[in-house]
Amino acid sequence: MGLIGKYTHIENQVVEGETQIVTIEHPKNLDENDRDFEKAGTTEELEVPKVIQILTDYEEAYINIKATTTFKYYQRDKTVLNITYEVFKSKQDRIDNPLKPLKTDSIEMIEIKAGVENDILKGYEILSMQPSFTDFIVD
């Protein structure tokens, strides 16, 4: 079981040999234990490596739940679900390269009804409601 749909993969890449200047404004009310306390209320410019975003669309990306964990959150008397999922270029890519997803991520602390809902099915339902995955369909 998985989800299939269009996915835009975002990769940040450092441009070799290029830099850019960024301006940092330090808040006036920094705590005295803050490592930048002496810079409170000042502005500084730093030279950093230039980074570009590379966007790649995958028309039939495949999402697979890698793991789920449920536990009782006693402080709030709730049962919560954590989901770890992987995004592949396609269903076939998952079969051919199961250890090389485009992305591995998680969604944590989702409240569920203990003993009533199947963790995996609930996980796919939650994933399909995420903004990046609303157009995905169940495979």
Give the count of domains, the chain: 2
How much is the pLDDT for 70? 87
Residues 49 and 91 in one domain: no
Measured CA to CA in angstroms, residue 92 lies from 1, 33, 47, 64 at distances of: 13, 52, 43, 12
pTM for the full model? 0.76
Residues 16 and 45 in one domain: yes
Q: Which domain holds residue 38?
A: 12-53
How much is the pLDDT for 47? 95
Residues 48 and 66 in one domain: no
Establish if 92 belongs to a structural domain. yes
- In the block, residue with structure tokens 């028309």: 59
pLDDT tens digits along 108-132? 988 888 777 788 998 999 999 999 9
Helix (H, G, I), strand (E, B) or coil at 121: helix
